[in-house]
Amino acid sequence: MNGAELVAALGLELKYEPVPADQVVAGAPQTGYATVDASDAGEIGVWEMTVGAMRDTEVSEVFVVLAGSATVEFVDPPHPPLQLVPGSVVKLDAGMQTVWTVHEPLRKIFIER
């Protein structure tokens, strides 16, 4: 982004790819994302996952859920599960092992550091 620029994050068209088979826990989830801005300080973008469940290893990020619902379970380190709904703000540390179960397509805006 340069100067003043508006991004309509809810309507942003994303290119989807199937989740790699070794990460799929249930269903046939797909993910898509678009970078909004990137610099040496990190990346800002929009990410979406379709209904299903997948394993992931997290990066250091803060995100805000824009639409959908999901449960994030923590495998390592153990932590109570998170119930994500629009308006949820979450901070994740790099290296956390998680399982994302998406109940309604989940769209978030993220800031990676």
* DSSP type of residue 96: -
Q: What residue ranges define each of the domains in the chain, with the CATH number in brackets? A: 15-112 (2.60.120.10)
Q: pLDDT tens digits for 51-70?
A: 999 999 999 999 999 999 99
Residue 107 Cα to chain centre, angstroms:
7
Rg (CA), the chain: 14
Asked if residue 48 lies in contact with residue 105, where contact means CB atoms within 8 angstroms, the answer is: yes
pTM of the model: 0.91
Asked if residue 53 lies in contact with residue 67, where contact means CB atoms within 8 angstroms, the answer is: no
Using DSSP's 3-state secondary structure scheme, residue 23 falls into helix
pLDDT at 57: 96
Work out the pLDDT band at 40, boundaries 50, 70, 90: confident
The pLDDT > 70 percentage for the chain reads 98
pLDDT at 41: 83
Kind and range of the H or E element at 14?
none
Q: pLDDT tens digits for 94-110?
A: 999 999 999 999 999 99
